[in-house]
Structure 1
Amino acid sequence: MTDLKRKALDYHRLPRPGKIEVALTKPCETQEDLSLAYTPGVAQPVLEIEKDPLAAYEYTNKGNLVGVISNGSAILGLGNRGALASKPVMEGKAMLFKRFANVDAFDIEIDAPTVEAMVETVARMAPTFGGINLEDIKAPECFEVERQLQEKLDIPVFHDDQHGTAIIAAAGLLNALEIQSKTLEESRIVCVGAGAAGIAILQLLLALGARKENIALVDSKGVVHSGRDDLNPYKAEFALDTSLRTLEDALKNADVFIGVSQKDLLKPEWLKTMAPKPIVFAMANPDPEIRPEVALAARDDVIMATGRSDYPNQVNNVLGFPFIFRGALDARASEINMTMKIAAVKALSELARQPVPQVVLDAYGLESLEFGPDYIIPKPTDPRLLDVVPKAVYDAAVASGVARI
Structure 2
Amino acid sequence: MGRDIYAESLALHERHHGKIGIRGKVAVRTAHDLGLTYTPGVAGVSRQVAADPDLAYRYTLKANTVAIVSDGSAVLGLGDIGGYGAIPVMEGKALLFKEFAGIDAFPICFADKGQDLVGQIRNIAPVFGGINLEDIAAPRCFAIEEALQDLGIPVMHDDQHGTGVVVLAALVNACRVLGKDFADLTIVVSGGGAAGYGVARLLTCLGMDRHLCTPVWDIIVCDSKGTLHRGRQDLLTVPHKYILAHETNRHDLDGTLADALVGADVFIGVSAPGIVTAEMVGSMHDDPVVLALANPVPEIMPDEASAAGAAVVGTGRSDFPNQVNNVLAFPGIFRGALDAAASRITDEMKLAAAAALAATVDDPRPDHILPDVLDRRVTGAVAAAVHEAAVQGGCARRHPEEVDSSAGTGREYRGTHPP
Coarse TM-score class (shorter-chain normalised) = over 0.9
Match of 2:215 in 1: 210
**Out of 178, 193, 196, which is 2:194 matched to?**
196
Q: CA deviation at 1:2?
A: 4.2
Q: 3-state DSSP class of the match of 2:69?
A: strand
Match of 1:224 in 2: 228
Give yes or no for contact 2:336–2:383 (8 Å, CA) kept in 1: yes
1:126-172 deviation digits (Å, cap 9, x = unpaired): 11100001111011111111111113x11001111111111111101
Where does the alignment leave 5 or more consecutive residues of structure 1 unmatched? 354-369
Q: CA deviation at 1:316?
A: 0.9
Give yes or no for contact 2:329–2:379 (8 Å, CA) kept in 1: no
Once the two structures are superposed, the pairs formed by residues 6-17 of structure 1 within 5 Å of their partners are: 6-14=7-15, 16-17=16-17
Q: Identity of counterpart residues, as a percentage?
A: 47
Q: 3-state DSSP class of the match of 2:230?
A: coil
AA at the equivalent of 2:257: L
> C-alpha separation between the residues in 1 aligned to 2:394 and 2:19?
37
After TM superposition, the score normalised by the length of structure 2 is: 0.89
Q: In structure 2, do the counterparts of structure 1 residues 294 and 147 end up closer, same or farther at CA, with 3 Å as the change threshold?
A: same
Matched residues, number: 384
Once the two structures are superposed, the pairs formed by residues 5-404 of structure 1 within 5 Å of their partners are: 5-14=6-15, 16-114=16-114, 117-151=116-150, 153-207=151-205, 208-211=213-216, 214-231=218-235, 232-239=238-245, 240=249, 242-299=252-309, 301-353=310-362, 370-404=363-397
> C-alpha separation between the residues in 2 aligned to 1:52 and 1:346?
37
Q: CA deviation at 1:295?
A: 0.8
Match of 1:3 in 2: 4
> C-alpha separation between the residues in 1 aligned to 2:3 and 2:301?
22
Q: CA deviation at 1:214?
A: 1.2
Q: 3-state DSSP class of the match of 1:230?
A: helix
AA at the equivalent of 1:9: L
Give yes or no for contact 1:215–1:238 (8 Å, CA) kept in 2: no
Give yes or no for contact 1:101–1:323 (8 Å, CA) kept in 2: yes
Give yes or no for contact 2:314–2:322 (8 Å, CA) kept in 1: yes
AA at the equivalent of 2:348: T
Q: 3-state DSSP class of the match of 2:244?
A: coil
Q: CA deviation at 1:117?
A: 1.1
Give yes or no for contact 1:131–1:156 (8 Å, CA) kept in 2: yes
Q: 3-state DSSP class of the match of 1:121?
A: helix
AA at the equivalent of 1:219: D
> C-alpha separation between the residues in 2 aligned to 1:112 and 1:323?
31
Q: 3-state DSSP class of the match of 1:108?
A: strand
Q: 3-state DSSP class of the match of 2:271?
A: coil
1:347-374 deviation digits (Å, cap 9, x = unpaired): 0001012xxxxxxxxxxxxxxxx52100
> C-alpha separation between the residues in 2 aligned to 1:243 and 1:34?
69
Q: CA deviation at 1:3?
A: 2.1
1:316-351 deviation digits (Å, cap 9, x = unpaired): 111111111110000000011101000100000010
